[in-house]
Chain A
Amino acid sequence: NAGVTQTPKFRILKIGQSMTLQCAQDMNHNYMYWYRQDPGMGLKLIYYSVGAGITDKGEVPNGYNVSRSTTEDFPLRLELAAPSQTSVYFCASTDPGLRETQYFGPGTRLLVL
């Protein structure tokens, strides 16, 4: 199993550009999450999904959108990039049998200039 994979690893965006951060998992987990981590801060939840077709906002959803058309994939969309979205983005997944033990991807580092 590859676990949770994220692409790209690193990206530089100009202000106002858009991009999609990809996340995929091969563990057949129903629950998936997007977090951002700013320097010296903990992980903050952006969006999450409890299954294909079902998404909900987390703590910091403004400026982002998500979709969940399959169990495996959970892309995060930035429509109009702003410097405040410079961060490291982590995707995670879990399943009811695992309780709250989430499995994380390696992260995408995003720089908005």
Chain B
Amino acid sequence: DQQVKQNSPSLSVQEGRISILNCDYTNSMFDYFLWYKKYPAEGPTFLISISSIKDKNEDGRFTVFLNKSAKHLSLHIVPSQPGDSAVYFCAASADGGSNYKLTFGKGTLLTVNP
């Protein structure tokens, strides 16, 4: 049973436009959410996170929105750049500080076309 779902396996956008990556979760105990970016043949790297007490967190071109009632979060990238082309994983944690385990979605491959 998938607790973190990324229903779009892939997304293609034009350079300069907005990229919106979506993530849904089913476990109401999740209280911390993260986005990771992964290039081929490399490990995932942390991008941005959000606590369940917030509904928005911004870091430069990246903004994560959290809708707790809908159990939905999204990552906005504005403007998109070719270097943003990668697989993006949504992850969630229910531990709140005990052993920091993460549950990952399957990922969305973002392609930004020049």
B99 on interface, CB distance cutoff 8 Å: yes
The digit string for B1-17, where 1 denotes a CB below 8 A from any CB of A, is 00010100100000000
Q: A103-B46, A104-B43 are in contact. Are A40 and B9 (CB under 8 A)?
A: yes
Q: Which residues of B contact A106 (CB under 8 A)?
A: 41-43
How many angstroms between the C-alpha atoms of A46 and B104 in the bound complex?
13
Q: Which residue of A lies closest to B104 (CB)?
A: A42
Main secondary structure of the interface of B (DSSP, over half): loop
How many angstroms between the C-alpha atoms of A41 and B45 in the bound complex?
17
B54 on interface, CB distance cutoff 8 Å: no
How many angstroms between the C-alpha atoms of A69 and B107 in the bound complex?
33
A48 on interface, CB distance cutoff 8 Å: yes
For the side of the interface on B, what is the size category? 20 to 34
Q: Which residues of A contact B4 (CB under 8 A)?
A: 42
Set A56, A100, A105: member contacting B95, Cβ < 8 A: A100
Contact B97 A90 (CB under 8 A): no
Contact B46 A102 (CB under 8 A): yes
Contact B43 A94 (CB under 8 A): no
B76 on interface, CB distance cutoff 8 Å: no
The digit string for A34-78, where 1 denotes a CB below 8 A from any CB of B, is 010000111111001010000010100000000000000000000
Our count of residue pairs bridging A and B at CB distance below 8 angstroms stands at 64
How many angstroms between the C-alpha atoms of A58 and B103 in the bound complex?
11
How many angstroms between the C-alpha atoms of A90 and B89 in the bound complex?
14
For the side of the interface on A, what is the size category? 20 to 34
The digit string for A15-45, where 1 denotes a CB below 8 A from any CB of B, is 0000000000000000101010000111111
Contact B32 A100 (CB under 8 A): yes
How many angstroms between the C-alpha atoms of A90 and B87 in the bound complex?
15
Contact A42 B106 (CB under 8 A): yes
Interface of chain B residues 55 through 113 with chain A (CB within 8 A): 89, 91, 93, 95, 97, 99-102, 104-107
5 shortest A-B CB distances, which residue pairs?
A104-B43, A42-B104, A100-B93, A43-B104, A42-B106
